[in-house]
């Protein structure tokens, strides 16, 4: 059974060679609009936003954009950023409903990742794994939801001002990051950003992240993906620390595209990985 996977662009990956996968673009709205697609110069956008002190925000794909991306596929999985950061999931749900009403012989399903970036691509890989062994649509859906509840997302940010300005975290918390070299580290609990630690300096931040990864049940041979916003050096330092203790880690490093760059800001890391059952995500509603 051939699946079509459609993700919003917060997944940080626009295409997968040989895979029926595509994205619908998120947008950043500041002094001008930045469309999160393959044509955008992310470095220029990040520099623009660092200099810009006015109001900024993001907008999600609309129902029509989701429907267009579904095409004429018989089976569609739509994957979104956490509904606590965007309306993307609501739009994808409505698109799924319309699609199935128009095509009652087809199947479509929207998945709220309760995360963003790396964890979204981990879910994509799980769907592809199920497809490769011939699982049908319903069995794949159940396997993916079970898998997602064992995934975790951490972050390490040098700045949280965009998150603060958009009400995603309290401004008092946002101002901590970057103060005298402080990095805000934390996780995504039930789809919401929670800052837990305030390490000072790159080495301490890496050690803090590694400890948090182990606390959440990471084991040798598990998947770990890191997305970075022009922070490759920090990402590689964390990778090396993980591989020193867990040499069989299935590791992927990728740059953030526009949406994740907007929220992570320059130097930020977003880490997705497999671990123990994620009790914070036990509120998944499907």
Condensed to tens digits (0 to 9), the pLDDT of residues 43-93 reads 999 999 989 888 889 999 999 999 999 999 999 999 999 998 899 999 999
Entry pTM = 0.93
Whether 131 and 170 map to the same domain: the answer is no
Stretch among 65-79, 103-117, 150-164, 267-281 having the lowest mean pLDDT: 150-164
Q: Is residue 42 part of a domain?
A: no
- Cα–Cα distance measured from residue 118 to residue 95, given in angstroms and rounded to the nearest whole number: 24
Last residue of a domain, one of 130, 148, 166: 148
Query: The domain that contains 270 carries what CATH number?
Result: 3.30.1180.10
Cα separations (Å) of 272 from 100, 231, 279? 32, 16, 16
Whether 8 and 67 map to the same domain: the answer is yes
Q: Is residue 52 part of a domain?
A: no
Whether 144 and 179 map to the same domain: the answer is no
Q: Is residue 33 part of a domain?
A: no
The values of phi and psi at residue 273, to 5°, are -160, 160
In the prediction, which pLDDT does 239 show? 98
What would the two tokens of residue 180 be? 């005298």
In the prediction, which pLDDT does 174 show? 67
Q: Residues 129, 91: contact at Cβ < 8 Å?
A: no
Whether 9 and 135 map to the same domain: the answer is yes
The values of phi and psi at residue 164, to 5°, are -65, -45
Q: Is residue 43 part of a domain?
A: no
Cα end-to-end span (Å), the chain: 22
Whether 156 and 221 map to the same domain: the answer is yes
Whether 67 and 192 map to the same domain: the answer is no
Q: Residues 188, 155: contact at Cβ < 8 Å?
A: yes
pLDDT tens track for 172-207: 666 766 665 678 888 887 877 776 678 888 999 999
Whether 179 and 142 map to the same domain: the answer is no
pLDDT tens track for 13-36: 999 999 999 999 999 999 999 999
Domain assignment of residue 221, given as a range: 151-281
In sequence order, what are the residues at sequence separation of 6 or more whose Cβ sits closer than 8 angstroms to the Cβ of residue 265?
46, 50, 157, 158, 159, 160, 161, 162, 229
In the prediction, which pLDDT does 284 show? 52
- Cα–Cα distance measured from residue 228 to residue 239, given in angstroms and rounded to the nearest whole number: 12
Whether 183 and 199 map to the same domain: the answer is yes
Average confidence score pLDDT of the chain? 92
Q: Is residue 127 part of a domain?
A: yes
Query: The domain that contains 99 carries what CATH number?
Result: 3.40.50.10440
Last residue of a domain, one of 115, 148, 181: 148
Confidence of residue 264 (pLDDT cuts 50, 70, 90): very high
List the one residue out of 81, 84, 45 whose CA is nearest residue 61.
Answer: 81
Whether 142 and 124 map to the same domain: the answer is yes
Whether 139 and 182 map to the same domain: the answer is no
Whether 135 and 167 map to the same domain: the answer is no
Q: Is residue 41 part of a domain?
A: no
pLDDT tens track for 145-168: 999 999 999 999 988 777 777 766
In the prediction, which pLDDT does 187 show? 87
> What is the count of structural domains for the chain?
2
In this model, does residue 283 exceed pLDDT 80?
Answer: no
Last residue of a domain, one of 96, 123, 148: 148
Whether 159 and 122 map to the same domain: the answer is no
Q: Is residue 39 part of a domain?
A: no
């Amino acid at each position: 059974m051939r699946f079509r996977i459609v993700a919003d662009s917060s997944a940080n990956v626009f295409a997968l060679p040989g895979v029926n996968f595509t994205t619908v673009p998120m947008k950043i709205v500041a002094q001008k609009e930045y469309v999160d697609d393959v044509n955008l110069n992310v470095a220029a956008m990040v520099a623009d936003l660092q200099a810009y002190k006015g109001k900024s925000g993001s907008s999600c794909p609309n129902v029509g954009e989701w429907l267009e991306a579904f095409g004429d596929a018989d089976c569609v999985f739509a994957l979104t950023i956490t509904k606590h950061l965007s309306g993307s999931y609501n739009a994808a749900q409505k698109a799924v409903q319309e699609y199935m009403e128009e095509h009652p012989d087809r199947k479509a399903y929207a998945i709220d990742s309760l995360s963003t970036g790396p964890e979204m691509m981990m879910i994509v890989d799980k769907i592809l794994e199920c497809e490769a062994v011939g699982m049908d649509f319903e069995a794949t859906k159940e396997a993916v939801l079970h898998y997602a509840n064992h995934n975790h997302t951490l972050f390490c940010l040098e700045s949280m001002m965009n998150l603060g300005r958009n009400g995603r975290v309290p401004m008092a918390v946002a101002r901590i990051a970057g103060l005298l070299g402080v990095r805000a580290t934390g996780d995504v609990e039930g789809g919401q950003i929670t800052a837990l630690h305030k390490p000072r300096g790159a080495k301490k931040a890496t050690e803090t992240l590694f400890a948090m990864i182990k606390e959440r049940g990471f084991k040798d041979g598990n998947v770990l993906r890191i997305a970075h916003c022009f922070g490759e050096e920090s990402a590689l330092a964390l990778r090396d620390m993980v591989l020193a203790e867990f040499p069989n880690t299935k590791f992927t490093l990728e740059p953030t595209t526009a949406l994740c760059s907007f929220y992570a800001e320059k130097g930020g890391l977003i880490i997705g990985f497999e671990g123990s059952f994620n009790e914070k995500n036990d509120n998944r509603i499907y």
